[in-house]
Amino acid sequence: MHSRIRTLEEYHADYRQSVEDPDAFWAACAAPFTWRKKWDTVRGGEFSPAGTSTWFDGARLNITENCLDRHLAQRGNKLALIFEPNDSKTRHLRLTYRELHQQVCQFANVLLNNGVEKGERVIIYLPMIPQLAVAVLACARIGAVHSVVFAGFSATAIADRVNDADAHFVLTADGLNRGPKQIPVKSVVDEALVTCPGVRRVIVVEHLGWPVTMQEGRDVWYHEEAKNAALTCPAEEMAAEDPLFILYTSGSTGKPKGVVHSQAGYMVWADYTFRNVFQVEENDVYWCTADIGWVTGHTYGLYGPLLAGSTSLLFEGVPTYPDAGRFWEVIDKHHVTIFYTAPTAIRSLMATSLDNVLSYSLHSLRILGSVGEPINEEAWHWYHQHIGKGRCPVVDTWWQTETGGIMISALAGITPSVPARAGLPLPGVQPVLLNQDGTEIEGNDQEGYLAIKGSWPGIIRTTWGDHERAQQTYFQPYPGYYFTGDGARRDEQGLYRIIGRVDDVINVSGHRFGTAEIENAINQNEYVVESAVVGYPHDVKGQGIYAYVICQHGLPKTAAERSIYEASIIETVVAEIGKIAKPDKIQLVSGLPKTRSGKIMRRILRKVAEGETSNLGDVTTLLDPAVVEEILAGKK
Ligand code: WT7
């Protein structure tokens, strides 16, 4: 086992060992960490169909001791985090490992003083500011389970998550900056908490200096609380399999599910995958553009880099403010060496003038990464040529909220990196392609459902409060495998190419939404009788959201009536989920194509939305084939 793989031969040797003797392999990977007590068994539990894998069971640890305390002697004065604010004219902030350690301890003491206990869930609804990173680590320090809700979600979405997690504590801020806009975050929380009677305390971080309503007895200011909080705080000793965090993500049914990751396995996986995929060196300045509100921000913005003792840059803003050169400006300013972003950001920047790139040197860059959705060849080449200047390896990293970390990807500069291929599996990961009936498809140049044989340290442990759902979703569809929900192709060389979801999940700008979840939201609208949502190819977002909606009084009679309905439907989706789930196209219809048994034929709706209207397939089994004509005529 090489702690850092440096050659293709080492990759093959390590891959083989990880499959043949996983216990020895992962024990060696885990050895350098700080353990209060070593494990009894490396791998345990029942992987499938029960979905009860355990890793390093019996061990005792605290992940923040491994992210922070472990580095103090050697790296106390090294930068742990660099914060670049939304506005380029506002000063950036840097925190050394020693300073971050102090801030985390102080925040942890504020949590303790406010009654947060080990095992308790804390909902974090904070913008990408230093306190978000500090708050997450502070929860982990005292053994509270953090559940970060991306600060673009609506009040209803927050309330659903607070109640599902049965959380008594919420951390938030007065407001946030997003490009040219300021958003009053605290008032969104106030609205959410009307339906969350369980919440006892809201801790508010001052960021914009905006006036907010503080509810007596419930709400406190962080800066007031911090005055009485010590700068040291012993780390709570956790069991390897205690939950570390919950992150809500969409599935193919209506309600987002709380994906649970645990302490030790997640830690080892985050560290191993981070260092190997990005081939990290001591002096790298690494920047993952994902918000900490998503799993990418958890594993590769925060935990992975800190576990490795690296310097991680966190950015509050957006790629296009004040102009479309902002990313490249930040790279030059902080001498970023490793840059990790999403295809949707690349495509949106590609669409602007190349001058935005050419004004910057980008000479510090040495490795580029992509995540969240398939990267199309055009975007891959643009990224490689114009950002990497043809000299930086590009890693296209495939993984999921449920996998905790990267599963299939090139190791930068070591294993093959081919446009539109994620590449080879990481050590410990055994991908297979399955037929519909669950048999493995052998050989190369094949396509099928992507599943994973055997457990790996970062695997999802459960869905919060509903283990049955985790079993049914991931482990029971094909017993013996973890089912990913993606379709994939293994090319002639054995490299994996991810094709996209095979379930009713759509991927919009790298964010996952269940079609049922968006339909549920649309159906809340007063005018709406029924709806059906599908994805369609979108130049920038990857997939766009196309909604077919039946309104109460039939089709609108005038253009004005149509716009009222459409605007109202959008407003409802924004209120129920958030702006990120706003339909791109709404087509009002008088009926949906249904089979005689009442099932919506999504295949037809998908084809229409994709513009593939010449071959709709067999429509004779439809209850009313005439609705198809109407839908075709009204296509957006
Ligand atoms: C789904 C997981 C964990 C990364 C952020 C998204 C798609 C992710 C790739 C990639 C093709 C990808 C898959 C996957 N996906 N990365 N490199 N190539 N598709 O996490 O929200 O849990 O979504 O994103 O469809 O199943 P997520």
Q: Tell me the pLDDT tens digit for each residue of 100-148.
A: 999 999 999 999 999 999 999 999 999 999 999 999 999 999 999 999 9
Place of tokens 């196209």: 585
406's tokens: 């990267």
Q: Can you give the pTM of this predicted structure?
A: 0.96
Q: How far is the CA of 340 from the centre of ligand 1 (A)?
A: 14
78 Cα to the center of ligand 1, angstroms: 32
CA angle 303, 126, 271 (to 5 degrees): 5
> Containing H/E element for 453?
strand 446-453
Report whether 400 contacts 369 (CB < 8 A): no
Contact assessment for residue 63 and residue 35, using Cβ atoms and an 8 Å cutoff: no
Contact 154, 574 (CB under 8 A): yes
How far, in Å, is the centroid of ligand 1 from the Cα of 498? Answer: 9
Separation CA 307–CA 70 (nearest Å):
9
Q: Can you read off the two tokens belonging to residue 193?
A: 């908490």
pLDDT of 492 reads 97
pLDDT digits (tens, 9 = 90+) for 48-88: 999 999 999 999 999 999 999 999 999 999 999 999 999 99
Chain length of the chain: 636
Q: Is the peptide bond before 393 cis (omega within 30 degrees of 0)?
A: no
pLDDT exceeds cutoff 90 at 618: no
Q: What are phi and psi of 368, to 5 degrees?
A: -120, 145
Cα–Cα distance between 296 and 549 in angstroms, integer?
Answer: 33
Q: What is the arithmetic mean of pLDDT over 472-481?
A: 96
Q: Tell me the CA–centroid distance for residue 500 and ligand 1, in Å.
A: 9
Q: Is the dihedral of CA 544, 353, 335, 361 positive or negative?
A: positive
Q: Whose CA is closest to atom 11 on ligand 1? A: 374
Dihedral angle at the C-alpha atoms of 604, 608, 612, 617, nearest 10 degrees? 20
The pair of three-digit structure tokens given for residue 490, joined into one six-digit string: 């293994």
Please, which residues have CB within 8 angstroms of residue 382's CB and are 6 or more apart in sequence? Answer: 346, 350
Are the C-beta atoms of residues 367 and 338 closer than 8 Å to each other?
Answer: yes
The answer on pLDDT for 619 being more than 90 is no
Q: Which atom of ligand 1 is nearest to the CA of 401?
A: 22
Instruction: List, in order, residues 6 or more apart from 24 with CB less than 8 Å away.
Output: 1, 17
Stretch 169-187: mean pLDDT: 97
Q: What is the mean pLDDT of the chain?
A: 96
Q: Which amino acid is at 372?
A: G
CA of 399, closest atom in ligand 1 = 3
CA nearest ligand 1 atom 3, residue: 400
Q: Which atom of ligand 1 is nearest to the CA of 498?
A: 11
The answer to whether residue 616 scores a pLDDT higher than 90 is: no
Residue 598 scores a pLDDT above 90: no
Q: Which residues line ligand 1 (CB under 6 A)?
A: 249, 295-296, 371-374, 396-401, 422, 484-486, 498, 501, 507, 510, 512
Name the residue of 398, 409, 511 to mutate for ligand 1: max ligand atoms within 8 A of Cβ. 398
What pLDDT shows up at residue 44?
Answer: 98
Tell me which residue of 410, 345, 338, 412 sits closest to 382, measured CA to CA: 345
Six-digit token string for 187: 């008032």
Q: What is the pLDDT of residues 209-241, one digit of tens each?
A: 999 999 999 999 999 999 999 999 999 999 999
